[in-house]
Structure 1
Amino acid sequence: MSGVDAMTTRGLVKICGLSTEETLDAALEAGADMIGLVFFEKSPRNVSLEAASRLAARARGRAEIVVLSVDADDALVEAIVSAVRPDWLQLHGHESPARCAELKARHGIRIMKALGISAAEDIATAAPYVAHVDRLLFDAKPPKGAVLPGGNGVSFDWRLLKGLDLGVPLMLSGGLDAATVGEAVRIGGIRDVDVSSGVESARGVKDTELIRAFVAAARRAVPGAASDAAEQGRSA
């Protein structure tokens, strides 16, 4: 089985908000498929261009590199893409479908658009994006007054996603940790998962053991994931 086939079968695991070599290495060694680097000054997970470039170089070829921005202007996006050379640009603000299409065309990069969900009617906001993005990330809407659009450690009703097919890959985030990811996958039916605060010992501080535990729990959540991972390891 090829690596791509194995990932399709077992689901993708993304660890977002990494900022140190130690925690990046823990994510890579645990088998994370994607690592996320945050460019948002209000976030405790914000990294500099220099730090992100070093971390991306360390991860390149071992996991897909995702950079997260929030309503970033052209100059910042250009600087991020040039310095980091990511595989994905995750847009976590109020970017319109047209803005997604513009950045995708300009930089020749895959786009992941994050959308906040709290009720069934929020799912409808995804439709205009489908033709312009490569993946949709459903995250919990931030609490009232929150300064961060994600990474707040809150979840939403995963039943809203059951049976959802929008014609573009979906990823689930919001309030996930090693204890809840299995239930989230079972209830929502989305195999690809993203975590940030759920692998932190303090706000913005990633914990290597929690990272390992999350990846292992996410693999257990998908039938056949453990055997797929073992087969991939034998063929590597």
Structure 2
Amino acid sequence: MLVKFCGATTAAEVRGVAEAGADLVGLWHGVPGGRAELSARRVAELAAQARATGRLEAVLVTFGSDAGALAALTGGAGPSWVQLHGYQPPSVVRALRALVPDGVRIVKVLHVRGGRCVEAGLIGAYERAGTDCFLLDAVGADGRVGSTGVRVEDAVVGRLADRTARPFLLAGGLRADNRDRFAGAVAHPRFLGIDVDSAARGADGLLDPAGAAAVVRAWRRPPGGPREGSRPAAEAAGAAGAGGTR
């Protein structure tokens, strides 16, 4: 199970979630008005910090649709994942796939509103365009997307995951005390891991190592006893079949 914590803005947060056992850290760029928005230079700096931990990979989280600009931020010491969190069409995925360096993974968010996936009719097109995996997340009552704290019900997750041929990450209101509400999602053969934001934040609004560690322990707790920590992110994603078209 991969664990991603999203919205880091400081080197201390990056180091803290790595020490907590995370695999991925989300860095926001191209999220207009976002509380964790970073400049391109800051994304590069924090991605290098993540790589220096020896276990953490950086994820570029964006509403952007300029494939060339996004690809230029990846590779080398930059983020090795790109998470398209807006309503970008499959053509953006296709263009990005053609431009990113080998080994960079593309995540397309599928937004769920009222129990229905907004992009349901485009799932196959996203897969053909080169999406490596999906992230299932809920839209807020006001239409807001990303870090809404709204859960996607477990039954809805299962139905949506069954419509895809790619692994999926789950987001939306996930906490250390509610893993059992998602037993079906965790048991799904294409379940790849979780994406957490608010449940790992301290009173200062920053990602908190203790809160992050609590989430990691709770979600990695297997039925019947202790379990070894996760494998590196790229290895686990590959084992789950997350290999976009090349």
TM-score class normalised by the smaller sequence: 0.7 to 0.9
Q: Which amino acid aligns with 1:155?
A: R
State the TM-score, normalizing by the size of structure 2: 0.78
TM-score by length of 1: 0.81
Determine which of 39, 49, 63 is the counterpart of 1:70: 63
Equivalent position of 1:227 in the other structure: 227
Q: By how many angstroms is 1:204 displaced?
A: 4.9
Q: State how far apart, in whole Å, the 2-side matches of 1:230 and 1:73 are.
A: 33
- Partners of 2:180 and 2:168 in 1: CA distance: 17
CA 1:99–1:37: 2 relative to 1, 3 Å: same
> Any unmatched runs of 5+ in structure 1?
1-10
Which whole-Å deviations, capped at 9, do the CAs of 1:82-127 have from their partners, x for residues lacking one? 7962111100111111111111111233210011113454173433
Structure 1 residues 225 and 33, CA gap change in structure 2 (3 angstroms): farther
Aligned with residue 51 of structure 1, among 38, 42, 47: 42
2-structure distance, mates of 1:128, 1:226? 40
Count of residue pairs the alignment pairs up: 218
Instruction: Give how far 1:209 is off.
Output: 1.7
Report how far residue 184 of structure 1 moved. 4.1
Aligned partner of 1:161 among 142, 157, 168? 157
CA–CA distance in structure 2, aligned partners of residues 193 and 230 of structure 1 = 12
Inter-partner Cα distance in structure 2 for 1:230 and 1:32: 9
Matches of 1:19 and 1:140 in 2, distance apart?
Answer: 23
Counterpart residue type for residue 134 of structure 1: D
Paired position in structure 2 for 1:101: 94
Mapped pair 1:138 → 2:139: no
Change beyond 3 A, Cα 1:84–1:230: closer
Select which of 73, 78, 81 maps to 1:80: 73
Compare the two structures and name the one with the higher helix fraction. 1
Match of 2:109 among 91, 111, 114: 114
Deviation at 1:64, TM superposition (A): 2.0
Percent identity for Structure 1 against Structure 2? 31
Question: Paired residue for 1:31?
Answer: 21
Q: Partners of 1:145 and 1:231 in 2: how far apart?
A: 35
Q: 1:160 to 1:46 in 2, by over 3 A?
A: same
Compared CA separation, residues 231 and 161, structure 1 to 2 (3 A): closer
Query: Residue 180 of structure 2 corresponds to which residue in structure 1?
Result: 183
What does residue 243 of structure 2 align with?
none
